[in-house]
A and B are shown apart, each in its own frame.
Chain A
Amino acid sequence: MSIFDGLKFRKVNSLIHNLDPRIKFVYVIGVFIAALLFLQIIPLLALFVIQLPFVFLARVQQQWLRSLRGAAFLAAFIFLINIATNFFGGGYTLTPSNIEGAAAMTLRFVVLVESFSVFFLTTSPDHLGLALEQSRVPYEFAFAFTAAVRFVPVLAEEAQTIMDAQKARGLELEKGNLLKRIRNYIPILIPLIVSAIRRSLELAEAMESRAWGACKKRTNLYSLQLHKGDYALIGITATILVSAIYAYFFVSIPTIVNLLS
């Protein structure tokens, strides 16, 4: 259940939350590209630090730390694989720059996780749906997206009720060998599917009754408009990208090993 609780979004007001999701997405892509340009620790560290103000302005530190912790396992894995390939591929020796390279790889991954998590932690699904509606994506897709977000928690709750109902009739999900265990889920899945179908029919009825498809050009209650903050973010993104590209071509970036020796 707890994974679904995360989808029960709430409106939060902060400078970052109120930014246009489309611009935020451009920013994420910007950071993504910049991170791909470098394999040195110093610029990646800079990219990491640049994003911290966003986290604090949006007051999502806790959730953000949680998502980083979630990525920690994968990060450790990337680090070890890099070390291992260097070690076994490089004649069973490890140089300090090998280690630095592996660390940089890992840091690049962390930067990517960081930027995506800032995006998703600060963009409510309805904002995202709105962005979809107002981009060139066909409305049906935007509708499918918001409806999915709307009904995932409902279905999760329903699945819980069905499980309770079958347990109350003596079903033991954890009993038996693997095959038996899979079969144990049939009494859960069938009612879930049947009621999902019923539900979708009712939804279709309700949509029809509210003039679905009445005119080709739908209007929208809200409009996304760019504010000062959005322009500032465009500026920041452009600056990051331009400096990254400049550094990539014209600056010889020192490694930590160089600096120390």
Chain B
Amino acid sequence: MALIETKGLTYTYPGTSKPSIHDVSIKIEKGEFVLITGPSGCGKTTLCRCFNGLVPHFYQGEIKGEITVAGINTLDQHTYEIAKHVGLVFQNPENQLFALSIEKDVAFGLENMGTAREEMRKKVDWALHQTGIYDIRERSPHEISGGQQQRVAIASVLAMEPEIIVLDEPTSFLDPLSAEKIFDVIYKLNKEQGITVVLVEHRLDLTAKYTNHLIVMDQGTVRLEGDPRDILSNEETRRIGVGIPKATLLYQMLKKENCNLGNKTPLGSEELADQILEELKGD
């Protein structure tokens, strides 16, 4: 069974008439690195909120269709139950940290769950190490950079040992270098700990190379889904207004001029550079 599965999921926020997501049916398997993208207002964020029950429990409103996450029907479970399986990381790091020291923030979820102190200590330390912030664990949130704050936010859901981590544009306030560090942390969690990652982003330049399952949304519906190499070479993706990574775009332009670069659409600069080197060193 898929780890996340939705069937005909349609949801309308209270006080609005138009559904924010409409007839969404997707399957996410265990261990995948899923990237959801699409123009602003396409329903990406709303879909994320469905994954951990914020929609509909926190936001109310009208929901139709089916959704199971880690074997749970999120429609009839409390958010705090789902939180043990799905960690949600938000865009603005500042508003996710509410304690006065970093390790206390990381412990917040475990404290809520009533975890015993020694066990909590172990899990907190593990999460701090995984995200590379162990050395700054006693600092206060004012003393660290935005990138570090976002790593604290990741550690704080990681400590609850979820099977799935959902990140909603986690780096849009960060400079590219800090962003890259965040993506490295997430990628490592996916590869080494087998945590399923669902990442919402519209900067594919930075993220396409990590993914093995791409979902393109537009106006509340899923328009394209599957292998990122196929989807990024699909003309439809460009028409929806998704920013294709420059390396992928360059590859397509060269292919149009009948360049021989193999048939693997590159997702990042390394892949493209290798293909060009291959061709030019060729014989």
Whether both chains belong to one complex is answered with yes
Q: Is B114 positioned at the interface, with any CB of A under 8 Å from its CB?
A: yes
Q: Is the CB of A205 within 8 A of B80?
A: no
Q: Which of B83, B97, B120 contacts A214 (CB 8 A)?
A: B83
Q: Which of A126, A207, A219, A223 contacts B104 (CB 8 A)?
A: A126
A218–B112 CA distance with the chains assembled, in angstroms: 5
Q: Is B179 positioned at the interface, with any CB of A under 8 Å from its CB?
A: no
Q: Is B29 positioned at the interface, with any CB of A under 8 Å from its CB?
A: no
User: Closest CB-CB distance, B83 to chain A, in whole Å?
Assistant: 4
Q: Is B109 positioned at the interface, with any CB of A under 8 Å from its CB?
A: yes
Q: Please indicate the chain A residues that have their CB under 8 angstroms from the CB of B79 in the complex.
A: 208-209, 211
Main secondary structure of the interface of B (DSSP, over half): helix
Q: Is A129 positioned at the interface, with any CB of B under 8 Å from its CB?
A: yes
Q: Is B173 positioned at the interface, with any CB of A under 8 Å from its CB?
A: no
| Chain A CB within 10 A, most for which of B79, B90, B120 | B79
Q: Is B214 positioned at the interface, with any CB of A under 8 Å from its CB?
A: no
Q: Please indicate the chain B residues that have their CB under 8 angstroms from the CB of A165 in the complex.
A: none
Q: Is the CB of A209 within 8 A of B52?
A: yes
A28-53 residues with Cβ-Cβ distance < 8 A to B are none
Q: Which residue of B lies closest to A129 (CB)?
A: B100
Q: Is A212 positioned at the interface, with any CB of B under 8 Å from its CB?
A: yes
Q: Is A10 positioned at the interface, with any CB of B under 8 Å from its CB?
A: yes
Comparing A114-122, A171-179, A196-204, the segment that makes contact with chain B is A196-204
Q: Please indicate the chain A residues that have their CB under 8 angstroms from the CB of B270 in the complex.
A: none
Interface mask (B63-80 → A, CB under 8 Å = 1, otherwise 0): 000000000000000111
Q: Is the CB of A204 within 8 A of B112?
A: no
Q: Known contacts being A209-B54, A211-B160, A221-B104, is A202 close to B111, with CB within 8 Å?
A: no
Q: Please indicate the chain B residues that have their CB under 8 angstroms from the CB of A146 in the complex.
A: 98-100
Q: Is A154 positioned at the interface, with any CB of B under 8 Å from its CB?
A: yes
Q: Which of A10, A154, A199, A210 contacts B157 (CB 8 A)?
A: A210
Q: Is B186 positioned at the interface, with any CB of A under 8 Å from its CB?
A: no
A154–B57 CA distance with the chains assembled, in angstroms: 29
Q: Is A66 positioned at the interface, with any CB of B under 8 Å from its CB?
A: no
Q: Which of B94, B95, B112, B141 contacts A211 (CB 8 A)?
A: B112
Q: Is the CB of A221 within 8 A of B160?
A: no
B38-56 residues with Cβ-Cβ distance < 8 A to A are 52, 54
Interface mask (B192-216 → A, CB under 8 Å = 1, otherwise 0): 0000000000000000000000000
Q: Is the CB of A223 within 8 A of B157?
A: no
Q: Which of A151, A199, A205, A211 contacts B54 (CB 8 A)?
A: A205
Q: Known contacts being A126-B104, A146-B98, is A221 close to B52, with CB within 8 Å?
A: no
Q: Please indicate the chain A residues that have their CB under 8 angstroms from the CB of B95 in the complex.
A: 199, 202-203, 206
Q: Which residue of B lies closest to A9 (CB)?
A: B140
Q: Which of A125, A211, A215, A219 contacts B116 (CB 8 A)?
A: A219
Q: Is the CB of B84 within 8 A of A202?
A: no
23 A-B pairs in the complex with CB atoms less than 8 angstroms apart: A8-B142, A9-B140, A10-B140, A143-B98, A146-B98, A146-B99, A202-B90, A203-B95, A206-B96, A206-B98, A208-B80, A209-B87, A210-B83, A211-B109, A211-B160, A212-B112, A213-B78, A214-B114, A215-B113, A218-B111, A219-B111, A221-B121, A223-B117
9 closest A-B pairs (Cβ-Cβ)?
A126-B100, A210-B109, A214-B80, A221-B107, A202-B95, A215-B114, A211-B80, A209-B88, A211-B83
Q: A211-B83, A221-B103 are in contact. List 8 more A-B contacts (CB 8 A).
A: A126-B101, A126-B140, A206-B153, A209-B87, A214-B84, A214-B112, A219-B120, A221-B107
